[in-house]
Amino acid sequence: MKAIKNKEFSTYWTTTETYESLKIYIDIDEDGLKETIVQMLGGAGCKIDTKNTKTFQNDLTNIKSKDDVLTLLVHLGYLAYNQAEQTV
């Protein structure tokens, strides 16, 4: 928050990661993930279950569902999570 308040921020994420590494997760396309991402790029939100203990293992290799991918993208800092609405 201080970086925003002091206007001292830059394009950190675009210089540390490439789309190609994220594409692996997006290509899983479980439960209409690709369409959801297109909708989010247009400004829509998406309800997710960040506590899905049946599938989410909090690692980069055991991704099995749309919620897993979106939760991972929250953890990596690519998506913001609205806790009150449980959406990204």
How far apart CA 10 and CA 3 sit, in angstroms, is 9
Average pLDDT on 69-82 reads 86
> Looking at the 3D structure of the chain, how many domains does it have?
1
pTM (2 decimals)? 0.68
Residue 53 pLDDT more than 60? Answer: no
End-to-end Cα distance, the chain: 19
30 lies in a domain? yes
41 lies in a domain? yes
1 lies in a domain? no
Residue 56 pLDDT more than 80? Answer: no
Q: Looking at 34-38, 49-53, 79-83, which range is the least confident one?
A: 49-53
52 lies in a domain? yes
62 lies in a domain? yes
Instruction: Supply the range of the domain harboring residue 22.
Output: 17-88
5 lies in a domain? no
How far apart CA 78 and CA 26 sit, in angstroms, is 13
Contact 80, 86 (CB under 8 A): no
Q: What is the mean pLDDT of the chain?
A: 79
69 lies in a domain? yes
Comparing CA positions, the residue from 36, 61, 49 lying closest to residue 87 is: 49
